[in-house]
Structures are given as structure tokens and as C-alpha cells.
Structure 1
Amino acid sequence: MTQPRLFVEIHILQSLPPSNVNRDDSGTPKQAVFGGARRARVSSQAWKRATRMEYARQVPEADQATRTKRIATLLAQRLARPTDDGGAGLSEDQADRLATALLEPLGIAKSAKKEDQSAYLLFFGKKQLDALVGLLGGRAAELAALTDGDLKTEVKKLSVVHALSTGHPAEVALFGRMVADLPALNVDASVQVAHALSTHSVRTEFDYYTAVDDENTEDHGAGMIGTVEFNSSTLYRYAVLGVHQLRDNLSHADETRATAVRFVDAFARSMPTGHQNSFAHRTLPHLVLLTLRTDQPVNLVSAYEEPVTGITGLASESALRLAEELKTVGDTWGNKPLRTLATYTAEDDKIVEAFGPSLSFPTLLDRLDDLVGTWLDGGEPAPADTEEAATR
């Protein structure tokens, strides 16, 4: 029997004022050609990191993940902590030596430039480092006193790989991990994030700015002159969460349910921080649409293959296009979403018909929590019309 699947798709329309949230190597806002028109673009990597940072704000520090080349340094710091602070009370030299020995079974290549760093970034949970310390069972000082050969032999008896391949924090369970040197540490991501694209064509503009030397009383010239590129746009953002994969990565239904809701919340509220101090571009979405599917995800960016012109407003026209595309895709391919939940500001009959009535965002999250919980308990979220009929 095929394992049941549940996809939660997040479709967002969000307008940004003049900004440069994600730039290329020349400082130009990232762009892409789509439908023959140049669009504003924010890379999936930029928005995934912004989402991770927003998500981390919602959980205790001990439950957070980190992505770094400095796993050996972090492990040594834990080993050097006093025992009443979760450490092993080792000296700095002992901690460095034992940390190196503990990580050797992972076979992680070291940086060619810095011996205390790995050759690439590793994504892991802070609790997983605590689990490595826990493997020592209070024998840290004893092991640190062994010769190199004996220490290596003793470390081989410890379940180092198991400690880092289980007990994943939610961030790793969401965004996955790939370790080329040791596939056993790989984690399949439960989230996919698309590059955000403007629903309309854009052109890049330049902000010419000057800075005044406050202490210069001799002339009226600027102390510094510069330019920064920017654009403004209404973006279509899309991400999909495979709840079934998230469940497999976390193993606990309650944690899966909470993580799914927190991810949607974090993705909707997050914002990349490029040139944030210059543009203060923090906005919230015009529209958040959730579509729940058990067949396959559908990115609805095709709604904007023909650029929106903005005759009656970019945001409102983009919302109408999205409503029409959702209906067209469902009618044409037959794979209509099982449920839709939406939060939006512009009331329109076509939008209400396609998405259902607008919910406050906290209510939308509560409904999602209930639907994911029903699925995790072995049920299937009822279609919207069935649920409404049952409550009459």
C-alpha cells in the first residue's frame, strides 16, 4: 500500500516598496526573465534563510539548529564547560583533542586553510552536540588522558554517527541536510521553496545619495557620494511542505503538527534583510493562500506568465489572476486541492469563490493545526463544502 501523503502549499502575494532585498555580485537586485518580461526575483536561498531565522525566534535556543563550519569548535566549547553546565570540565587543550577525536568517525573533510574548520557548512541541532557529549558517559577526562591510538579505539565504540543522524531539530527536518562525505547523515528536506517572482515587469532604478561630514564647516560638499540600485514589486511567493516527510524526519506527531504550523507562520512573516536599514522594506502579505493536496503540489506561477499591467492595482489584479489560475488548473487537470484556507484584504466575488472566505491569519493557523492533526491521526481533512454542511 502506498504511503499516504499530505502537501501543504503556501501561495503568497506581497508588495515591496523600493528595496534591494537580494542582490547579485554587482549589487543589482536579482532578476529573471519570465513570460518574455524582466521580473524582480528573490532567490529561494535568501527566503529560506529568512524563514529559518524567523522560525528560530519561535523556539527556545536549545532547540535551534545552526549551519557552520565550526562544529569542532562548538563541540570543544561544550566539553570545556563545567559539568554542572552540561559540559565535561576539560581544559581547552583536552577539549580540542577530544572534540577532534569524536568527529573523526564522521569523515568530514577539513578546510585546506583552517584546520579547526570543516571544508563545508554543516547543518545540525544544538541538542545533537549535547548528545555527543552525553555519549562520553562522564568519561571525558579518562578518555582525554589516553594515547592517540587508544583514544581512537575507544571513540569507535561510541555511536557518534547515530547521535547526529537522529533527534533532528525542526529546522533540519524542514530544510534537510546533505553531507557528501557521509550519506548516513543526509536528511531529505520536507520543504521546497520557489524563487519569488514579481507578477509584473520591472526596471531597476538608482538611488543617488550623499553623506554629510557633520564636523566640516569649511565647505558645503558631501563627505561621501554613492548609488544603490533598487526596484519595487508585487511578488508571488510559493513553498510546499510535505507533512509526510516532516513526520518521518521528526518521528513525533505532536512535534510534526506544531512544526508545520510554525513553518507557515515563519514563511509568511519572514523577510530577507538585504539593504534593510536603507529601505525599511518590512511589509506583510496582501494574500496568504494555503492549498492542501494529497496528490501532487502545483506551483501557480503560471498565472503570471503574461505580466500583470496594474491598471486597477498590481496587488488586486494579481489576486484575481491567482484565483482564476487555481480554478483553471483544477478544472483542466482534475486535481483540485482538498482544502483551501486564505487570508486576504481585497474582497471580490471571484476571490471568495476560489479561496473561500478570508480568515484572520491566527484563525488560518488554527485551522491548519486542526487539519494536520486530523491527518496525522489517520484521517483525511474533509473538503470545505463537506465541513460547512456538517456545521449547518
Structure 2
Amino acid sequence: MTSLKNTRIEFHILQSFPVTCLNRDDVGAPKSAMIGGVPRARVSSQCWKRQVRLQLKNYDVVTGTRTKLISELVASECMELGATEEQAKNCGDWLEGAFIKLKSDKKKKTKSIEEDENESKEESSDTLLFLAPDEIKKIAKTFADNGFDAIKTLKATEQKKRAKEVASLIDKSEMNAFDIALFGRMVAQATSLNVEAACSFSHAISTHKVVSEIEFFTAVDDDPLNIREDTGSAHMGSLEYNSATYYRYISLDLGQLQQTMGTDADLKPAIEAFVKALYVAVPSARQTTQAGACPWEFSRVLVRKGQGLQASFEQPVKAKGQGYLVASKAALNEWLDAKEKLSGSLFGKLADFQWGENLDYSIDHLIADLQAQL
């Protein structure tokens, strides 16, 4: 395959939602930001990334598992290889202790599996480990080769040393989980397991000024026994919501993806799965009460070499009686065209696709055009 170094696919997406609260802050209000001196609606990058990652599991690509329940994953695989329940639990707990410290005593030295690893998981830190299926299988196979003797397999009692032992069991060059390649992996206890993320997500922001509104609601008791004397509501409450046209920027570094997945890897299925997941993924907050199930309205997709290029929408668009989408499309296209002229040879454009205007150009056509660039 041709080297894709310094080549990226950039998605500039406009997506409109009516009454929603796609991403809440610590008090349950829609997240927001001040941009260009006016308040904007905001959906955090991690919120939308997680939905894309979960959607990838619906397509034909290998995906990993990001969890604190490392012990259970390894134990389950050990039992598949013939370990007893006790052996499997010991192996899983011993391996998990290499990455998860207890909040109650982070400096406590490990003495034994029973004294250290079997303490309450509720006291554990918030470490999440992202592992590919083949990596879990490789770890379990190593335990099996040593008779499921946890301490014989991983001899170090000090956490960082044991984490390095685990890392030595995993050949990162054989890692085939597409979501790990996309979103990266950071393991503080064993940096050799780190994987550089191939894609980056901006926070989605409204292209215009947004002020959240408050909904007052009531719930009425069905009174199945017909015994209530009052006719008022049984419960009253309120919640905040907003409506917005969001600008989303996603950059997929094809060179980094190729480096992680291997130069011989066929990236076309990966591109298809990523674009489809990106298209259908919507944050899950309050979907049962507000049903914010709105797809892309418009997307300008560039294949470029060079520095990433995200629009700021520092100048909020005005509705002018036509809604915000029309004005947002015009502003986005004008901004991108201007930056292309101003950047000259540094713009590095290889291809430019617009989705959403031509009804004969579906998301499948966009995927085929992007695959043709590989």
C-alpha cells in the first residue's frame, strides 16, 4: 500500500437538533461555551466519541473493550482454556492489580493475591484499560502455559514491574482492534502499551447564539383504586433544553492509522465502518423523552496533506428567517474556500466532497470516494 503519511480525512459536519439536551453538565443542564462573545450550545468531544466507538461494534471490524473489569475479562478467557473458577479468578485479579490501584492506599505494597488483589472493587481507582480481543487471548494463553499459576506467570509484586511484565506479553504490532487504533490507548503503568490516536474530535458547537430554556413538567397519578381526593399532579419538576445547529470537526489521520494497523492492512473496511458510525452516532442523553435522532444535514469532507483545519465559527450566524442551517452552510463553505486560497500550497488538498445537497449522492457514494483515495 502507498504510504499515507501526513494524509488526513477531515469531516466538517453540520447537524441540526430541535428540543434536546444531548450532553449534560454536573447540574443536568445542557453543556455550553462562550465563543465570539456569545453563548453557544456544546457537546463534548468525549461524549460523541463514545457513541461512535459503540456504533463501530455494529459493523464488520474488530473492536476492543475499555473497562475496569479487567479481572473478569481475563478470568473468563482462562476458563475457556480449562482453568478452574478459582484459578481463573486468581489470574484475573493478579493481572488487574498491575494496572488498578486502590484509592484507600495507593502506596500499599502488594503482599499476596489474597491480601491485595481481592479487596473490594468499589475502592479501586478509576483506571480504564483498553484491550483488544487478541491481547486478552494472548494473556490468558500465557497463564495457561504456566498451569494457571498467577505468580509463576507474573513474578513481580511491585505494580509497575508487573505491568511491564504484562506489556512484554503483548506484541503491539499485532494489535488489530480498530477502535483502539482510532481513539488511542494510554497506560501510565506501562507506556510501551500506549497507542497514538488516529482520529481527533472537536467539541461540537452551535454555529449561532443559544440560550437554554426551561421545561416545567408534571406527572399525574393514575389512581387505579380511585381513592385520591386531590386532582393535582403527583410530581412536578423542571429541566433545561436547547435547540441548535452544530458544527462538528473530525480529523482522521490516515498515516497514523496505517502505522498502527500495519502497512499491509486493508484500510477500506475500516474507513467504511468509521464513516457509517460517524453518520449514525448520536449522544444518548434524554433520547426517550426528547428523541434527538437527527442525522447529518450537510458535510464537507476534505482529503488533505498537512496541518488540520477546523472552523471556529467565531462570528455567530444569523437565522434571517431561514433557520440557521442555510446560513451555516454558506459560512462554512466561504470559510473553507477562503482558507484554501490563503494557505496556497500548504492547503494540500487531494480531494473535496460535499454531501447533503445532491440527493443522488448518498453516504455510500461518499464512502466509496474516500476509499478510492487510499
Q: Please indicate the TM-score interval, normalised by the length of the shorter structure.
A: 0.7 to 0.9
Residues in 2 aligned to 1:358 and 1:318: alpha-carbon distance in whole angstroms: 22
Deviation string 1:274-313 (CA, Å, 9 cap, x unpaired) is 1111100000111122101111110023xx2111111132
Corresponding letter in the other structure for 1:368? L
Q: 1:94 aligns with which of 87, 90, 97?
A: 87
* Correspondence for 2:343 among 321, 324, 333: 333
2:219 and 2:253 map into 1 onto residues whose CA distance is 49
Q: Is the 8 Å Cα contact of residues 258 and 265 (structure 2) preserved in structure 1?
A: no
* Residues 8 and 243 in structure 1, CA contact (< 8 A), matched pair in contact too: yes
- Identify the match of residue 330 of structure 2 among 302, 320, 327: 320
- Matched with 1:175 is 183
The alignment status of 1:195 with 2:203, answered yes or no, reads yes
Counterparts in 2 of 1:272-351, with a 5 A limit? 272-301=283-312, 304-311=313-320, 312-334=322-344, 335-336=346-347, 337-345=349-357
Q: CA deviation at 1:119?
A: 4.7
| Mapped partners of 1:276, 1:3: distance in 2 | 39
Q: Distance in 2 between matches of 1:152 and 1:328?
A: 58
CA contact (8 A) 1:294 1:338 kept: yes
Question: Aligned letter for 1:205?
Answer: E
Q: 1:94 to 1:273 in 2, by over 3 A?
A: same
AA aligned to 1:269 is: V
Does the 8 Å CA contact 1:206/1:230 hold for their aligned counterparts? Answer: yes
User: Is the counterpart of residue 41 in structure 1 residue 48 in structure 2?
Assistant: no
- Residue type at the aligned position of 2:64: A
| Partners of 2:4 and 2:287 in 1: CA distance | 44
- Write the mapping of 1:66-215 to structure 2, written as runs, cut at 5 A: 66-80=65-79, 87-102=80-95, 107-112=98-103, 115-116=120-121, 119-136=126-143, 138-139=144-145, 142-144=147-149, 148=151, 150-153=152-155, 160-163=167-170, 165=172, 166-215=174-223
RMSD of the TM alignment (CA)?
2.6
Change (3 A) 1:153 1:317: closer
- The structural deviation recorded for 1:225 is 1.0
Counterpart of 1:132, as a letter, is: I
Structure 2 counterpart of 1:352: none
- Measure how far apart 1:254 and its partner are: 4.0
CA positional deviation for 1:367: 0.8
Contact kept in structure 1, 2:4 and 2:254, CA below 8 Å: no
CA distance in 2, matches of 1:50, 1:159: 29
**Does the 8 A contact of 1:268 with 1:288 survive in 2?**
no
* 1:268 Cα deviation from its structure 2 partner: 2.3
Equivalent position SS for 1:33: strand
1:162 to partner: Cα distance: 4.0
Aligned amino acid, residue 111 of structure 1: L
Task: Tell me if the contact between 1:175 and 1:189 (Cα under 8 Å) persists in the aligned partners.
Answer: yes
Aligned partner of 1:181: which letter?
Q
Matched with 2:19 is: 18
1:341–1:72 CA distance, 2 compared to 1 (3 A): same
**Alignment size in residue pairs:** 344
The answer to whether the 8 Å contact 2:299/2:355 transfers is yes
CA distance in 1, matches of 2:201, 2:175: 24
In 1, distance between residues paired with 2:193 and 2:337?
41
In structure 2, C-alpha distance between the alignment counterparts of 1:306 and 1:100, rounded to whole Å: 54
SS of the equivalent of 2:232 reads coil
Distance 2:207 2:60 in 1: 34
| 1:172 CA displacement | 0.3
Paired amino acid for 1:64:
T
- Compared CA separation, residues 91 and 333, structure 1 to 2 (3 A): same
Q: Percent of aligned positions with the same letter in both sequences? A: 30
Residues 103 and 29 (structure 1), Cα distance of their counterparts in 2 relative to 1, 3 Å cut: closer
> Match of 1:362?
364
Which of the pair has the greater relative contact order for Cα pairs under 8 Å at 6+ separation? Answer: 2
Aligned partner letter, 1:363: H
Structure 2, unmatched stretches of 5+, are: 105-118
Aligned twin of 2:261: 250
